[in-house]
Amino acid sequence: MSNNNKSLLSITQVRPHLFLAGYGCITPSLLKQYNITHAVDCTNLKTKPIPGLDKIEVPVDDNTLAKITQYFEPVVKFVEDAKQQGHNTVIYCAAGVSRSATLTIVYLMVTENLSLEEAYLDVNKVRPIISPNIGFWRQMIDYEKSRSGNATVELISGRMARPVPSVYLRRAVC
């Protein structure tokens, strides 16, 4: 099994209190194994409640037109409140690649005062399969500009069929 397949089928610890995953990992046994009591559900699916799991929902589809910015601050607050109470949180979507990665990156930007580039590289280091969609990249770039006045990631267009975040090119060189 390739590392990417293993990542799709695993819960990734991003911080001692914060995990990133795909929906397939959200089982009572795995939540117990990682002592996870809180969850941010970005699947936009009707899912069965899990006893003992405090959950908020982010009903956003993974497409380039979906608006996710409105959930940035409520998710940060939810995760921070859980952390302050000594609880662990998992942020998950269908595969743990786009929606949940976006919210995890933003969480690090806000709580650790990281740039978008730094937060992306930090999450990518522990979960290399992350790949927010271009619409989410645009929203994260705009959010970073609104917070700091500048952007550390830009979307590069050219001969490519779609824009590519500049951080992808720097990551490939490293």
Enzyme catalytic residues? 93
CA–CA gap between residue 66 and residue 135 (Å, rounded): 7
Order of strands across the sheet that contains 12-15: 12-15, 18-22, 88-93, 36-41, 54-57
CA–CA gap between residue 73 and residue 86 (Å, rounded): 20
Three-state SS for 25?
helix
C-alpha pair distances (Å), 72 with each of 10, 32, 51, 102, 126? 24, 26, 26, 9, 21
Q: Is the dihedral of CA 56, 61, 63, 68 positive or negative?
A: negative
Q: Which residue has the tokens 């006045």?
A: 149
CA–CA gap between residue 27 and residue 15 (Å, rounded): 20
CA–CA gap between residue 2 and residue 5 (Å, rounded): 5
